[in-house]
């Protein structure tokens, strides 16, 4: 049994001495950077993933995620400080298992914890005394205690006595050159002192600073709060964009001027909609859970409605621009969408508004192609099966000129915006990238 300060101290001492193996379940945009951070901190790491192709690729020191330090990955593989596997029988080997699997929404926009539940069952079958289990995936407050804990304890082991159980929300921002895994403070929460001490000791070895909180549910709420804050503020500037456009005011100019105030204001920027795995999804985890307590989340849900409506607004602006400047409607028009990724300089199309924009264009009789320097072909995306397999188009002068309009959805740095504008008949810019690049032309329309 591990009940008692002496055993927790011994557990923490092994962390400090680096006589400790970290297991990471899920080797995607969160799990892989975390694995490399653990390797850099001096730990042995075993990475688990159900995707055998990904496991084989990582075992060769290769990675398809652009911002991953492939040199560090190759060195970790060569030194055998990191290895990837799809054999879940090896889950008994690590001293700590960190779960970084997806938590999407189902078709009814309700939380889908399938990956968390499956991962927990796999761990429970091999769980041994003295192991630490930490969930990092975004979820509703109470998941660690209400979903994971009963499954892990079903075999007779008790959390806080026989094993440690905690929650620590991931805070990854793919493509962020200023903040990586190790330089971002880590919130850590658990429902007993031993588990909190164990998890806190591990993360103190991995990141610049830890922020212990009183419970796992509190830590789960922290993650939702961070992303709901962003979703609500983005909805606000999206709504202001629509209002100011009707008034003939440039919302981007307003924001640039407003952010010169050194207090009381934080700039958020409008766009064609929300994308990624966090901001479009996390608010719905809280609204779903709030129903259990007979609480309505009107403010959060309104923000969701505004952000969800933005692709429709953008396509409407595109149709108006085609009519007013080109003398034609959207039906039969050929549109080139620039950027498929949900944010610039990464290769992740999850929940990208560009996909919705393409669908809406074609629903109104147009043809939508795309260009993205990081995404060669559209993968099979949940909710967008009709777009799967389409290939990124080149940006040479003749290709761009052949389209009736170019719609900028993602402002990748690798794109020659000046050349694009020079060769396009019409440019609809949802990211203000033309203005930021010092480009002005009569055929540029902001949306």
Task: Provide the residue range defining the domain that includes 289.
Answer: 230-446
pLDDT for 281? 86
- Cα 249 from Cα 260, distance rounded (Å): 18
pLDDT for 3? 47
Please return the burial class of 393, using the count of CB atoms within 10 Å of its CB with bins 0-12, 13-18 and 19+: middle
Helix (H, G, I), strand (E, B) or coil at 18: coil
- Is residue 326 one of the residues assigned to a domain? yes
The confidence band for 6, taking pLDDT boundaries of 50, 70 and 90, is: low
Q: What is the CATH number of the domain that holds 78?
A: 3.40.50.720
- Is residue 200 one of the residues assigned to a domain? yes
Active site residues: 278
Res 137 pLDDT > 60: yes
Least confident of 163-172, 273-282, 384-393: 273-282
Q: What is the mean pLDDT of residues 14-32?
A: 96
Residues 292 and 431 in one domain: yes
Please return the burial class of 21, using the count of CB atoms within 10 Å of its CB with bins 0-12, 13-18 and 19+: middle
Q: What is the mean pLDDT of residues 65-86?
A: 93
Q: What is the mean pLDDT of residues 229-258?
A: 97
pLDDT for 67? 82
- Is residue 103 one of the residues assigned to a domain? yes
Domain count of the fold of the chain:
2
Res 4 pLDDT > 70: no
Mean pLDDT of the chain: 94
Alpha helices in 248-376 (DSSP H): 251-258, 282-290, 298-321, 353-363
Residues 266 and 378 in one domain: yes
Res 110 pLDDT > 50: yes
Res 5 pLDDT > 80: no
Last residue of a domain, one of 186, 214, 242: 214
């Amino acid at each position: 049994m591990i009940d008692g300060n002496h055993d927790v101290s011994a557990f923490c001492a092994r962390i400090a001495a680096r006589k400790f193996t970290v297991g990471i379940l899920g080797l995607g945009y969160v799990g892989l950077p975390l694995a490399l951070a653990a390797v850099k901190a001096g730990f042995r790491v075993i990475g688990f993933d159900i995707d055998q192709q990904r496991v084989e690729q990582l075992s060769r020191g290769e990675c398809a995620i652009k911002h991953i330090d492939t040199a560090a990955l190759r060195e970790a593989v060569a030194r055998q400080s990191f290895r990837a596997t799809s054999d879940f029988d090896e889950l008994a080997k690590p001293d700590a298992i960190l779960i970084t699997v997806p938590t999407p929404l189902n078709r009814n926009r309700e939380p889908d914890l399938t990956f968390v539940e499956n991962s927990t069952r796999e761990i429970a079958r091999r769980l041994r005394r003295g192991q630490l289990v930490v969930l990092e995936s975004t979820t509703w407050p109470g998941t660690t205690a209400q979903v994971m804990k009963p499954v892990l304890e079903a075999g007779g082991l008790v959390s806080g006595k026989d094993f440690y159980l905690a929650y620590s929300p991931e805070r990854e921002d793919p493509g962020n050159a200023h903040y990586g895994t190790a330089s971002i403070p880590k919130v850590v929460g658990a429902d007993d002192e031993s588990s909190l001490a164990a998890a806190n000791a591990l993360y103190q070895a991995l990141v610049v600073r830890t922020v212990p909180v009183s419970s796992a549910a509190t830590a789960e709420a922290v993650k939702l709060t961070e992303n709901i804050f962003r979703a609500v503020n983005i909805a606000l500037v999206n709504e202001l964009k629509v209002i100011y456009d009707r008034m003939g005011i440039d919302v981007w100019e307003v924001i640039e001027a407003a952010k010169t105030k050194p207090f009381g204001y934080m700039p958020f920027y409008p766009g064609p909609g929300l994308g990624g795995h966090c901001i479009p999804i996390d608010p719905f985890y809280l609204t779903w859970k709030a129903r259990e307590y007979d609480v309505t989340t009107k403010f959060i849900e309104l923000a969701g409605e505004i952000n969800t409506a933005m692709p429709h607004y953008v396509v409407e602006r595109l149709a108006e621009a085609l009519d007013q400047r080109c003398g034609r409607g959207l039906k039969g028009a050929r549109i080139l969408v620039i950027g498929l990724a949900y944010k610039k300089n990464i290769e992740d199309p999850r929940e990208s508004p560009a996909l919705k924009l393409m669908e809406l264009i074609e629903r109104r009789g147009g043809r939508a192609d795309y260009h993205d320097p990081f995404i060669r072909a559209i993968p099979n995306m949940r909710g967008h099966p009709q777009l799967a397999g389409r290939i990124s188009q080149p940006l040479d002068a003749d290709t761009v000129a052949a389209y009736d309009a170019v719609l900028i959805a993602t402002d990748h740095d690798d794109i020659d915006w000046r050349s694009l504008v020079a060769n396009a008949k019409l440019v609809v810019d949802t990211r203000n990238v033309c203005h930021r690049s010092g480009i002005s032309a009569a055929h540029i329309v902001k949306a």
